[in-house]
Each structure stands twice: as structure tokens, then as C-alpha cells.
Amino acid sequence: MKYLAAIIVLLIVHLQYRIWLGDGSIAEIRAYQQRLDDLKKLAEEKRQRNQALYAEVLDLRKGQEAIEERARSELGMIKPDETFFQVLE
């Protein structure tokens, strides 16, 4: 009976060790889950950025307004016979 109790106790200790500290332990699973959540968040941010860039590319391909807006804001271009006013604050 003592041997059986000792074997059961050793088995329980061994299983508890594997649950808390071994491969696939609870702490390791939590770390993997946190990493997975971080990667999902990063992927979603990249997906949204790509969608915005794709929409901008489509707008530049189709419309002249987007091209004109970029030329005005980034290059400082104006139309012929147009007066440019710069307001300094």
C-alpha cells in the first residue's frame, strides 16, 4: 500500500511539473497566445494601411481631382490664371 501511494504521489508530482513548467506549460501557452494576439493586431493594422493605399491608387488612376490635389499640396502648383494667396499666422 505504501508503494502504491508513493507511485501515485510521484505521478501527480510529475504531471503537475509538466503542467506548470514543462513543454506546453500554462505559462508557455499564455506567452504564445500573447504573441499571437500581437501578430493579429499588427496584421490588422497592415491590412487597413494596405486598403487605404489601394484606395488612393484607384483614386489616382481614375480621377484628376486627386492628382490636382497632390500637385497643389506637395508641389505647390497652381492653375493658369489663378491667384495664389498665402496667409501667414
- The helix-helix angle for 2-20 and 26-62 (nearest 10°) equals 20
pLDDT tens for the 89 residues of the chain, in order: 888 889 999 998 888 887 777 777 788 889 999 999 999 999 999 999 999 999 888 877 887 777 787 787 788 788 888 887 778 88
Instruction: Sketch the domain layout of the chain as residue ranges.
Output: 2-75
d(CA 33, CA 50): 25
CB neighbour class for 60 (10 Å; exposed up to 12, middle 13-18, buried from 19)? middle
